[in-house]
Amino acid sequence: MINKFNIRVYGIWQKGDKILISHENIDGFEMLKLPGGGLEFGEGPRDCVVREFAEELGVEVVVSDLLHTTGNFVQSAFRKDEQVIAIHYRVHCEEQIKSYNTIQTTQVGRHNIHHFEWRVLDNDLLDEFTFEMDRVALRGLSR
């Protein structure tokens, strides 16, 4: 039974025709997604995406506009009792990324291994994303 919400906040950082993407592996579950993560109690969505980029990439992004909010039911891939609501913002930054590879500990004690890269946003890349919510947000961006 679904009894919790899991609010996820992601940033879409573009440079020319490329976007920053995240290859992640949490205890063997591999995914291709946008940079970002879970909203913590007491913070707003914009604060969340700024914090996530600082934690994962060591940069301070500026949040510009809201691009997408999940409009349908999405069950969590990790916790079957949670409904995911995703918020996608456009972000930008003048800083250089210090490391494209990071490892973080998740709230449930797992390890999240990140590898970030810049990729051309095209239909092939869209098809590679693990989560439909990212594909929907990026399709809206490319219009």
CA 64 from chain centre, in angstroms, equals: 16
Domains of the chain by residue range: 4-141
Reply yes or no on domain 4-141 having CATH 3.20.20.100: no
Q: What is the pLDDT of residues 35-74, one digit of tens each?
A: 999 999 999 999 999 999 999 999 999 999 999 999 988 8
Q: What is the pLDDT of residues 7-31, one digit of tens each?
A: 999 999 999 999 999 999 988 889 9
Beta carbons within 10 angstroms of residue 90's beta carbon: 18
pTM listed for this prediction: 0.91
Beta carbons within 10 angstroms of residue 21's beta carbon: 23
